[in-house]
Structures are given as structure tokens and as C-alpha cells.
Amino acid sequence: MHKKTINQLAQGLRSGDFTSVELTQHFLQRIRQYPELNAYITITEDSALQAAGAADQRLATGDTGLLTGIPIAHKDIFCTLGVKTSCGSKILDNFIAPYNATVVEKFKLAGAVTLGKVNMDEFAMGSSNETSFYGPVRNPWDTQTVPGGSSGGSAAAVAAGLAVAATGTDTGGSIRQPAAFCGITGLKPTYGRVSRYGMIAYASSLDQGGPMTRSAEDAAILLQTMAGFDPKDSTSADVAVPDYLASLDQPLAGLKIGLPKEFFAEGLDNGIASVLQTALAEYQKLGAELVDISMPNLNVAIPTYYVIACAESSANLSRYDGVRFGHRCENPADLTDLYTRSRGEGFGKEVKRRILMGTYALSAGYYDAYYLKAQKVRRLISDDFQKALAQVDVIMSPVAPTTAFGIGAKMDDPIAMYLADIYTIAINLAGLPAMSIPAGFSGGMPVGLQLIGKHFAEDRLLNIAHQYQQVTDWHQQTPKL
């Protein structure tokens, strides 16, 4: 049951092959069977079985959608009413969310079953899931390697069949890079497409929630539920949501694929480069045309991102003060001691590093030199994409320079870790939608292909991904567990 697509499971539920309670029990049993993956922070067994029972009743009356009774997992960054929402941090280890994030609420209304909350890098800061207070997640393809991050729990859970699908968030690559490392499909929507209400903020101008699934078709089903204007989020876009399933079957003849030369230059692993060549040849067989393009400002995307992301996070994380929510130190001597020790004890090393960098970049005297400069460069990077996307329908590139690396391999070298997002980060700076789809293996580990689209053209990306998945079966490969 854990290898079926959402459509197949929805069929099974309707034809009475199994109930949602049975399906949910199957996934709960698998979660218990693989504790060493450390994919889940919280398993909501009781409420999952209750929701499954309610879904079975709805199914009996026929009043249902495709997600009714389907067990999914939420990244522990989405507030979930009455359930611990930790964001992977000690500082929120005791935080029980008093409301549902819009995304969580929408899945609930659609009748999906929440199995629990999945592991992540602390405050979504990381590329390997190793900064989590709850310990690293292991990649189900090779448990000595990382699953990628920050949505590593989501990716490992979907790849290992511990959830049908999961939500993730992507500030600089956190949906796409773990999807690539774990051999699943991940979609980062256009900034503003999916509500950020109740999604714990890291860098507000970059964060975006999206689906992590086993196929493009499943991603279309999840996005259909997640997308849409939300009056509770002032950055949510009031743009009509198309029928994502309706366009999946469109043929690709005449599709123009842009290949930025900067993305295929040195630094890219040979095994990955050859997998991507094969994938591009497959697209040519489907009728696509390859066009060489250039994006001259991409080389400064990483420093630009780290100035902006750290600046925004230092402001966002000032709310964890030991007063209103989260961890509070014992016996504070005075207010300053309360703030200092609560934050000192509650935040991990990487989060502290970013707060320090962000506070520095925003301080008087440095604001113009760093923050303002970064905002200007951000515009140049965004313009590069606009120009490229005026010539082509989609841009294709690697997702990450290597396959999943060993646990511990980059933990002492933040710059090496930051470079893991070299191909994904610029897309967030430009606010564009992008996907990672499984395209093959290198050294036995999954490789992802990145598709980058025009603003709000998620339907086109899903179509392009789905057509590839009709003629290849990389997305159907599963790890031996």
C-alpha cells in the first residue's frame, strides 16, 4: 500500500479494497518499524486514527475528494492545533500550537489524515537535517548519508513509505534538495502561491511551502489543496488557481528548455552531469528543444541569499524571548538574564550563527554596505531569470552539486554546507516556482533534475514533470528497507 499513488489509493478506498483506518494503521506500523530513520518528531496516532474513521464515514456517503482518507505528514514548521510544533528547535520543544496553519487546515478540510510532524533542520536552517534538536534524519537509500535539508524528515518519510506525501518548505532549496537526495518529487511554488499563515517564519521574503510526493501527479493533487489566496497572509497572492490535473497530459512538442551555462560548469559531479544529459535527451525525444542561455549574476546568489536570509531571520527570531512562548531559563536574575539565557539555551549553534550574521548586516553603518547591496543584487538575479524565461518555457539544471553526502561530512564547515544549495537558492531570490524530479542514480544514490518555471506557472512545471514520468520510471524506484 505504501508504494501506491494517491489516485490508486483513492480508488482502493472507493472500491472497498481497504479502509482509511487500515491504510493509516499500515503507515503507523511502518513508522514504528523504522525508528532509526528519525523521520518523525511527533506521531499523532490517536488523532490520525480518528480522522481516518471520519474519512471512512465520508467515503461511505460519497462526499469526498482525492485526499479524503489519505495519510500524510506535515513538516514540523506548520502550526498544528493541540500538537507540539517545534520547528526542530529546543526553544519550541514545549510549544503546543493554539491554531492550525492555513495549509494544515486545508488538508484537514480535504479529509487527509495527519500521521504526525516530521523532522527538519532547526528553524529550517540547514541542508542536511543535522541541525535539528531531535538529531539527524537518515537517508533511506543509505543510512550513513543525510537526507538533505531542511525538509529532510518529509523527504525521508515519503521515500521510505512512512507517509503517502508530506508538506515541506523551501527558503533556499529545502524542498528540492532533500527531494533530490531521497529520490522523490518536490515542488517549491511561486512566492505567494501557498499561504505562509501559521508556517513558522525563517526568512519571510523567501519562505514558501509546497508538496513532497512520489510523483508529479501526486504533487498536483497536493498543490491543488495547498494553493490559493489567504486573507490571513498579507504576502499571499490573489491569483486564480488552475486545475493542476487537467494540464498534466499536454504533449511537450515544441517545448523550449533553457540550459544556463553557469549551472553546468565546474563543481558539478560527473555522475550527476551524465544523468542530466540522459534526462535532457529524453526530453528531446518528447519533442523539446534545448537552448543555451546565460545568467551572469548567478555566481553571487549564495552570498546575497545569506545576507538577506540571515537579516530576516534575526528579526523573525527575536520573538523567542522566553516570555511569550517556548523555552524559558530557570530562575532568571532579571529581564536581560531571562532573554540571554532563554535564547542561549534554546537555540542551536547554526541558528545563533545566523542571528549574529543577520544582526551585523542590519546594524547601523553596515546596513547600506550589506543589506541594501544584497537587495540590489537580488534584483539583478531576478532580472537574469526574467530575461531567460522570456526566451524559453522552462529552465533545467541540477538540483545539487553532489548526491547525498555522509552524516557529519560538512558539519564543521558551514561554507561547504551552504554550497549544497548553489543551484536552488537563486530561484527563491527571484520568487519563481521550481521542481525537483528523480532522474536517475549516481553511485547508487538518487539524482534530481530541477525544472524552473515562470511566475505562477506551476501547472506547466507539473505537466513537464509528469510527461517525463510517463516515459521513465525513476520516480517509482524505492529504497530497499
Catalytic annotation, residues: 75, 150, 174
Which residue, 217 or 421, has its beta carbon nearer to ligand GLN? 421
**CA dist 412 → 24, 360, 365, 388, 409 (Å):** 40, 22, 30, 37, 8
Candidates 92-100, 164-172, 257-265, 328-336; binding stretch for ligand GLN (CB under 6 A): 164-172
Closer of 44 and 190 to ligand GLN (Cβ) = 190
Classify residue 410 by burial, with Cβ atoms within 10 Å: 0-12, 13-18, 19+.
buried
Count of residues that bind ligand GLN according to CB under 6 A: 13
Instruction: Give the β-pairing of 40-43 and 113-118.
Output: antiparallel
Q: What is the closest distance, in whole angstroms, from the C-beta atom of residue 310 to ligand GLN in the complex?
A: 9
The reply to whether 429 sits near ligand GLN by the rule CB under 6 A is no
Rule CB under 6 A: say whether 127 interacts with ligand GLN. Answer: yes
Applying CB under 6 A, does 304 fall inside the site for ligand GLN? no
Residue 195, all three cell numbers: 499561504
DSSP class of residue 474? G
Task: Return the C-alpha torsion angle 96, 101, 103, 104, nearest 10.
Answer: 30
- Quote the least distance from Cβ 202 to ligand GLN, whole Å: 6
* Minimum CB distance to ligand GLN, residue 343 (Å): 19
Among 115, 124, 457, 462, binds ligand GLN (CB under 6 A): 124
Stretch of residues binding ligand GLN (CB under 6 A), selected from 92-100, 109-117, 118-126, 210-218: 118-126
- Selected from 41, 221, 279, 309, the binder of ligand GLN by CB under 6 A is 309
Residue 372: DSSP 8-state = I
| 3-class SS of residue 435 | strand
Nearer residue to ligand GLN within complex by CB, 3 or 349: 349
Nearer to ligand GLN, 171 or 304 (CB): 171
Q: Is the Cβ of residue 170 or residue 459 nearer to ligand GLN in the bound state?
A: 170
- The CA-based angle 413-414-419, given to 5 degrees, is 105
Q: Least CB distance from residue 204 to ligand GLN, whole Å? A: 12
Alpha-carbon span 214 to 394, nearest angstrom: 22
- Nearest approach in angstroms of CB 465 to ligand GLN is 20
Give, for 260, the enclosing helix (H) or strand (E): strand 256-260
Joined grid coordinates for residue 422 = 548553489
Tell the smallest beta-carbon distance from residue 264 to ligand GLN (Å): 21
User: Cβ(371)–Cβ(359) under 8 Å?
Assistant: no
Query: Hey, what's the cell of 383?
Result: 532580472
User: CB within 8 A of 425, min separation 6: which ones?
Assistant: 172, 173, 301, 302, 305
- Residue 391 to residues 84, 119, 399, Cα–Cα distance (Å): 47, 40, 22
Segments of 23-83 assigned E as strands: 40-43, 71-75
When binding is defined by CB under 6 A, the residue of 122, 262, 421, 458 that contacts ligand GLN is 421
SS (H, E, C) 260-300: EHHHHCCCCCHHHHHHHHHHHHHHHHCCCEEEEECCCCHHH
Cβ closest to ligand GLN, residue 207 vs residue 458: 207
Stretch that binds ligand GLN, among 20-28, 121-129, 269-277, 359-367 (CB under 6 A): 121-129
> Which of these ranges, 125-133, 287-295, 355-363, 444-452, lies near ligand GLN under the rule CB under 6 A?
125-133
Q: How far is the CB of 124 from ligand GLN (least distance, A)?
A: 4
Give the nearer residue to ligand GLN in terms of CB position, either 161 or 178.
Answer: 178
Using DSSP, state whether 165 is helix, strand or coil.
strand
Shortest approach of ligand GLN to residue 194 CB, angstroms?
14
Residues 195-254 that bind ligand GLN (CB under 6 A): 202
CB 244, CB 228: distance < 8 Å: no
Taking the C-alpha atoms of residue 129 and residue 102, their distance in angstroms, rounded to an integer, is 25
307 binds ligand GLN (CB under 6 A): no
Q: Does 150 bind ligand GLN (CB under 6 A)?
A: yes
x/- contact string, 165-204, with ligand GLN (CB under 6 A)?
Answer: -----xxxxx---------------------------x--
Of 130 and 458, the one with the shorter C-beta distance to ligand GLN is: 130
Report the residue from 118, 125, 164, 419 that binds ligand GLN according to the rule CB under 6 A.
125
- Residues 99 and 86: their CA atoms lie apart, in Å, by 14
End-to-end CA distance of the chain, in Å? 15
- Chain centre distance of CA 292: 28
Given candidates 126, 186, 189, 448, which one binds ligand GLN under the rule CB under 6 A?
A: 126
Residues that bind ligand GLN (CB under 6 A): 124-127, 150, 170-174, 202, 309, 421
